[in-house]
Amino acid sequence: MPTPHISAPDGAFAPDILLPGDPRRATRIAETFLDDAELVTEVRGILGYTGTYQGRPMSVMATGMGMPSATIYTTELIRHYGVKRLVRVGTVGGIHMDLQLGDVVAASSAHTDSAMTAQRLPGVHYSHAPSFTLLRAAADHADETGAPLRVGPVLTSDAFYQPDETLVPRLAAYGTLAVEMEAAGLYAVAAAEGVEALMVGTVSDHVVKGEFLEADERERTFAAMVSVALGALTR
Ligand code: HPA
């Protein structure tokens, strides 16, 4: 049944889904990685496709940017379409000095400056964590394929432009690898709904070093990261 934000028939999505932020990325992933991919929803330009990957049903759908948008789509996918394993495939800004552009980060936890998930369990500083099964599968896949995977905490921020310039260095001093805008919300929704989630992201820019990838490198490293995500889902 259609939802307020997804117009697709029952059964239109596979239990496994990749979640980029950008709708054009959803199209590119469907065209590049999936077989027999069909467009199943396009409400507000948020494109979703279902096809197969190595013979298994697989979906890909955009989430837009930030936790408010991502949690709308993930909640509806889980509750109305029976999606069970969600892997966000995004870009992240590196903040740890050890990180290189093009590295792939898997978020083993997500700090947040947002009030969004605090509303769920008042009085608790909730730990936003992924599915260990998916995280281990991603790490095992990267070990076997030589993908440059880094596992560690990220900051999920409501702000792309940080008003407090001291926040990023302080978090890096606590071992935080990167900043992005969706993982904590995804992890909280998945936990609350009893399903599995993981965020992997390619380091498209380094916030502290002031470096960023050119468009063609960005695409190449993004594809490498999608391979890690698909590898994790198909182990
Ligand atoms: N901040 C937040 N999200 C991001 C960034 C960033 O610097 N780079 C890629 N996604």
Q: Which of 36, 140, 205, 216 is catalytic?
A: 205
CA angle 15–5–79, rounded 5-degree value? 40
Partner residues linked to 85 by β-bridges: 16, 196
Assess whether pLDDT exceeds 90 at residue 151.
Answer: yes
pLDDT, tens only, 2-33? 999 999 999 999 999 999 999 999 999 999 99
pLDDT, tens only, 156-197? 999 999 999 999 999 999 999 999 999 999 999 999 999 999
d(CA 127, CA 111): 7
Output the CA 126–ligand 1 centroid distance in Å: 22
- Is 205 close to ligand 1, i.e. is its CB under 6 Å away? yes
pLDDT, tens only, 38-95? 999 999 999 999 999 999 999 999 999 999 999 999 999 999 999 999 999 999 999 9
- Helices 132-145, 215-233: axis angle to 10 degrees equals 120
pTM: 0.97
Q: Widest CA span of the chain, in angstroms?
A: 48
Distances (CA, A) of 171 to 105, 109, 232: 16, 13, 28
Output the CA 160–ligand 1 centroid distance in Å: 6
pLDDT band at 106 (very low <50, low <70, confident <90, very high): very high
d(CA 168, CA 103): 19
- Is 93 close to ligand 1, i.e. is its CB under 6 Å away? yes
5 touches 70 (CB < 8 A): no
Q: In sequence order, what are the residues at sequence separation of 6 or more whose Cβ sits closer than 8 angstroms to the Cβ of residue 9?
A: 40
- Is 91 close to ligand 1, i.e. is its CB under 6 Å away? yes
Q: How many CB atoms lie within 10 A of CB 132?
A: 11
pLDDT band at 1 (very low <50, low <70, confident <90, very high): confident
d(CA 152, CA 178): 9
Whose structure tokens read 């991502």?
70
d(CA 181, CA 40): 25
**pLDDT at residue 228, rounded to an integer:** 96
DSSP for 160-216 reads SS-S-TTHHHHHHHTT--EEESSHHHHHHHHHHHT-EEEEEEEEEEETTTTEE--HH
98: annotated active-site residue: no
- Is 104 close to ligand 1, i.e. is its CB under 6 Å away? no
Please name the residue whose Cα sits nearest to atom 6 of ligand 1. 93
Please name the residue whose Cα sits nearest to atom 2 of ligand 1. 180
**pLDDT at residue 148, rounded to an integer:** 93
DSSP for 88-136 reads EEEEEEE-STT--TT-EEEEEEEEE--STTTTTSTT----B---HHHHH
